[in-house]
Chains A and B, each alone.
Chain A
Amino acid sequence: MKFIPDKDILLFKSCLVNVEYPGVESSTCYIFDRIDVDYYVDEKQSCCTGLGHYYDLFDQISTTALAARNFHLAAETGHKNIAVMCATCYAILKKSAKILNQNEEARNKVNQILDDSNLENREYTQGDMDPTLNIFHVAEIFFNKRDEISSLVKVDLSGLRVATHHACHYCKVHYNDTIEGVRDPNLIDKLAKAVGVETIGWYDHKSVTCGAGFRQRFTNKEASLAVTAEKLQALKDNKVDLLLHMCPNCQMQFDRYQPYIEEKLDTEFNIFHLNISQFIALALGADPYKILGIQTHTVPIEPLLKRLNYSLESNEKIDVEAKKSPN
């Protein structure tokens, strides 16, 4: 298996984690702090362009030039290893690193763009970033330290019926780098096991996309949500309580749209959605509102916590209504 680092890590910010599920970032930091992962968050790091890239709005050279800038930021602060929370960041950064290493013409073009932008000190040299040895999903970092995670578990989650949704842009784009299965992915099943939860394992549709399809959710909504609905039905048929995610875009597709699909199809799925970082943090005893950030979810997580006899201190719940800006 490939070497997975636990130090010199740039925790790469994701646009959808930022504003949709920021609890994924705080949960990741919570876990990293407890398993001695040395990481850094850089406020100067730009977004990977992922959504724009797959809307076909961004051209490859622009995406690659921004990646080169971010790779340089990682190196200059001594954090040459990048760990992402979003599967699309993972795919985009690996693709950009491959282009920069393998395509001399593109590399020269990117360096010219950086020169023209007065960033000649940020020029990319072939081999600066190894797509396989320097770019990871945080789930891989957890997997490498799963024994340490196991030793820290405080909350028993074993009563839940759990399934996993492995993000396509982690498993299927650079599949030679994927660990724990591509067609039958088990990376987050094994992470659940590390915190004492046996998942249902394989199910029909396990490796199928969330259905977001980037433009499809907006321009082809019926087809997009039909894919999501089929997967939700397969999960319901398996009596699943909770689906674990590893990508904020997948999480949005399921969590934000599940109630909408339920209404359209006049059915109930009643499936909770958590990112694997949130799930592990929960098992380690993290606060649902101050660390997991469940207040940004559309499908409420409170009923799940109640089932676990989790004491919800209502005074700690962030009252969104009361926090509305005065205007």
Chain B
Amino acid sequence: MKTIKLKKESVQLVKDVLKDIKASPDLGIYKCVQCGMCTSVCPGARQTDYDPRDMIRRVLEDDETVIDDDNIWNCFSCYTCNSVCPCGNNASEINQILRQMSIDKGEGMKKIVSFTAYGDSFMELGVGSIPSNFFDVMVKDIGPGYMDLKINIEDIRTDLGLGSYILPEKAIDEVESILDNSGFKDRLKKIKRCK
């Protein structure tokens, strides 16, 4: 029987992808038959030049330029590709791994620097929120009622019988300590520096 032997040096990128903490143990990238189901259902592919099928091909062919290809940032993380893949592959998950590789290399940091306010408010309150720097444009898009909501949210929650959404101080300290020891604090600092 004839078998296709991949050259050893041609599989480094796919090996790195599979070693990543995000990679599910049953991730079926080697089973990809390039059928294109992922691309055909992808909202990113419909609206932009992002092509998940091609992204997977490039990973399998050890084409490292895919890591810094701008198009990987057009994935919507909707996992529709994952839900239709006949091979158990997950292009959305692989996309997230490639983005992290791009961030680790440095280039990708520029893509996420505008979201750093999320990290600050997370450490301050223990809860996430829409990054504050997008607030002005949201008020402009949605209208002044959105500003009123933000001003009155605690009162509205009280009227609904709900408590404060901000964590007690001791819990916030725990969250901050975890994010310090996990390396997130340093990561956030590094990302901010590329502003």
Q: Could you list which residues of chain A lie within 8 angstroms of chain B, going by C-beta atoms?
A: 13, 15, 18-20, 22-23, 25-26, 29, 41, 43-52, 54-62, 64-66, 69, 91, 98-99, 102-103, 106, 112-114, 116-119, 168-169, 171-173, 175, 182-183, 207-209, 211-216, 218-220, 223-224, 226-227, 256-257, 259-260, 289-291, 293, 295-296, 298, 318, 320-321, 323-325
A168 and B79 in contact, given A56-B108, A223-B47 (Cβ under 8 angstroms): yes
A117 and B177 in contact, given A223-B48, A290-B160 (Cβ under 8 angstroms): yes
15 pairs, CB–CB < 8 Å, chain A vs chain B: A26-B162, A45-B167, A57-B118, A57-B191, A59-B182, A117-B174, A117-B177, A117-B181, A168-B78, A172-B83, A208-B43, A209-B76, A218-B131, A227-B47, A289-B159
Q: Which of A57, A60, A211 contacts B115 (CB 8 A)?
A: A57
Report chain A residues within 8 Å CB of B145. Answer: 298, 320
Give 1 or 0 for each of B154-193: 1 = CB within 8 Å of chain A CB. 0111011111110110110011011111111001100100
Determine the distance from Cα of A64 to Cα of B178 in the docked complex, in whole angstroms.
Answer: 11
A59 and B122 in contact, given A51-B128, A69-B174, A293-B160 (Cβ under 8 angstroms): no
Determine the distance from Cα of A61 to Cα of B186 in the docked complex, in whole angstroms.
Answer: 14
Shortest Cβ distance from residue B173 to the other chain A in the assembled complex, whole angstroms:
9
Determine the distance from Cα of A175 to Cα of B93 in the docked complex, in whole angstroms.
Answer: 14
Report chain A residues within 8 Å CB of B146. Answer: 256, 298
Report chain B residues within 8 Å CB of A25. Answer: 160, 162
The stretch of B10-18, B56-64, B95-103 in contact with A is B95-103
Report chain A residues within 8 Å CB of B43. Answer: 208-209, 211, 213, 223, 227
Besides A13-B127, A22-B162, 7 new A-B residue pairs in contact (Cβ under 8 A), listed by A number: A18-B157, A41-B163, A44-B171, A45-B171, A59-B100, A99-B21, A290-B159
Shortest Cβ distance from residue B17 to the other chain A in the assembled complex, whole angstroms:
13
Shortest Cβ distance from residue B183 to the other chain A in the assembled complex, whole angstroms:
7
Report chain B residues within 8 Å CB of A175. Answer: 82-83
User: Which residue of B is nearest A263, CB measured?
Assistant: B141
Report chain B residues within 8 Å CB of A98. Answer: 24
Determine the distance from Cα of A256 to Cα of B82 in the docked complex, in whole angstroms.
Answer: 28
B: contact size bracket: 35 or more
Cβ-defined contact, B156 with A169, below 8 A: no
Report chain A residues within 8 Å CB of B112. Answer: 55-57, 215
Q: Which of A61, A91, A216 contacts B182 (CB 8 A)?
A: A61
Report chain A residues within 8 Å CB of B191. Answer: 57
Determine the distance from Cα of A55 to Cα of B168 in the docked complex, in whole angstroms.
Answer: 26
Determine the distance from Cα of A171 to Cα of B73 in the docked complex, in whole angstroms.
Answer: 23
> B153 near A: Cβ within 8 Å?
yes
Q: Which of B73, B80, B177 contacts A172 (CB 8 A)?
A: B80
Report chain B residues within 8 Å CB of A102. Answer: 25
Shortest Cβ distance from residue B59 to the other chain A in the assembled complex, whole angstroms:
17
Cβ-defined contact, A183 with B160, below 8 A: no
Determine the distance from Cα of A52 to Cα of B118 in the docked complex, in whole angstroms.
Answer: 6
A44 and B159 in contact, given A19-B129, A52-B119, A55-B115 (Cβ under 8 angstroms): no
Cβ-defined contact, A209 with B167, below 8 A: no
Determine the distance from Cα of A25 to Cα of B16 in the docked complex, in whole angstroms.
Answer: 41
> B35 near A: Cβ within 8 Å?
no
Q: Which of A46, A209, A214, A318 contacts B156 (CB 8 A)?
A: A318
Shortest Cβ distance from residue B12 to the other chain A in the assembled complex, whole angstroms:
20
Cβ-defined contact, B175 with A215, below 8 A: no
